Amino acid sequence: MKGSSSCFDTSTEKRASNAVISAGDRFGLLTVRCAVDEETRASRRRFECVCDCGNKVVVRAPSLYGKHTRSCGCLRFAAHAKTHGLSGTKEYDLLHKIKRRCLNSSDPAFQNYGGRGIEVAAEWLGQGGFERFFEHVGKAPSPHHTLDRIDNNRGYEPGNVRWATRAEQSRNTRRTVHIHAFGKTLPMTDWCAEYGLYRNAIRERMGYGWDMPRAIAERLVCAKVRRHRPPMLEACVVLSTSGSICFEHCPEGRSAGYIPDSAVLWEVLWDRREALGGVAHSHPGTGIPAPSHTDLSTFAAVECALGRRLTWWISSSTDTIALVWGGPDRLHYVAEQIHPEPDWVSRLRALSHINPRHENSQGDGTYDPGT
């Protein structure tokens, strides 16, 4: 039968030009309705066709016979709908790269993968391979995760892959040094993280010929001492005219170099203004402390508000100074070293986590912030 139901034939365009197309002939999903012009040359003739989806299209005769046109276009969409729709995703690219480095001997990384026997599971190859791969590994938890082989000597196969960050992966390479000590085996990085140790220190001690447990244990003693000593934090005490502490000020947010502004401290100063002797605060380090510009402007502001002068003490871990306004400039305070130190200094140092030292410096000075 000429022309009818021939859309799946492998006829050439030349043969098609001699063929007769009639209304009702089917080519794929298209059914010919009528010719749209009076063209005599068969290769130029065009036909109006109705697709199974209901769309009407005009198609040249050779396209019908040559299988170039089998639908109004809906077949193309249908074909796309059959795929997983994950092309271009991180997971799709990943499987592509895995296959390349394991199976393609011209890949630069082949020697570290396929070249040393790392294979890709057969079920993750071929038709539907990506779907099965994706079903097993799932979506990457974050853009920073990559696929890690749990056992580095086994291939990419179900049960031997997991999502891991770069840091996690770096602990699971052939070069990772696993250390057995204290009844467990961990990468050196994990030992260092667990005990707050420096990796270079461990390496150095191993260089002495020590075994790993000893290298860790020796460092551990020092690390424990460090861990149990809290860091120095500046603290402040309010002192009455009798020289006793009437308020201890250790606000949240204080650091080794700063005590933040506090409405609470100001309220204490205002409420006790009648019997207020002064305010002391700690500084980090040793030697004779020096007031910062912040300290001096605070002294001046408080005295301005209270309408009277106070004494301001500053203590380091070795020395204590007392500052009083010397004028004439607003921020010109004169310092004098206090020796011996009053009793409350030890309490101030304790609040600051300072270990007291016994060697005091001697001397005094005047502090002028360059006004």
Partner 1 sequence: MIQEHEAVLQITVNGEQGELPDPVHFDSGDGDIKAWATEAVRAGGIPGITPDPMADFSAYTVDRFPARDGKCNRLSLRPKVPFGG
Stretch of residues binding partner 1 (CB under 8 A), selected from 76-84, 135-143, 203-211, 263-271: 263-271
Sequence-ordered list of residues with C-beta below 8 angstroms from that of 26, at least 6 positions apart, any chain: 4, 5, 7, 32
Binders of partner 1 among residues 265 to 294 (CB under 8 A) are 265-266, 269-270, 273, 281, 283, 292, 294
Taking the complex as a whole, the smallest distance from the CB of residue 83 to partner 1 amounts, in Å, to 58
Sequence-ordered list of residues with C-beta below 8 angstroms from that of 17, at least 6 positions apart, any chain: 41, 42, 43, 61, 62
Q: Is the peptide bond before 108 cis (omega within 30 degrees of 0)?
A: no
Q: Is the peptide bond before 340 cis (omega within 30 degrees of 0)?
A: yes
DSSP H or E run through 145: strand 145-149
Spatial distance between the Cα atoms of 212 and 193, rounded to a whole number of angstroms: 15
Taking the complex as a whole, the smallest distance from the CB of residue 289 to partner 1 amounts, in Å, to 10
Spatial distance between the Cα atoms of 159 and 152, rounded to a whole number of angstroms: 12
CB nearer to partner 1: pick between 214 and 273: 273
Taking the complex as a whole, the smallest distance from the CB of residue 262 to partner 1 amounts, in Å, to 6
Matching residue, tokens 């499987």: 95
* 237 near partner 1 (CB under 8 A): no
* 329 near partner 1 (CB under 8 A): no
57 touches 49 (CB < 8 A): yes
| Sole binder of partner 1 in the list 138, 307, 328, 370 (CB under 8 A) | 307
Contact map string, positions 179 to 218, toward partner 1, x by CB under 8 A: ----------------------------------------
Is residue 10 classed exposed, middle or buried when 0-12, 13-18 and 19+ CB atoms within 10 A define those classes?
exposed
* 234 near partner 1 (CB under 8 A): yes
Taking the complex as a whole, the smallest distance from the CB of residue 253 to partner 1 amounts, in Å, to 10
* 319 near partner 1 (CB under 8 A): no
* 260 near partner 1 (CB under 8 A): yes
- For partner 1, the binding residues (CB under 8 A) are 234, 236, 255, 257-263, 265-266, 269-270, 273, 281, 283, 292, 294-295, 297-298, 300-302, 304-308
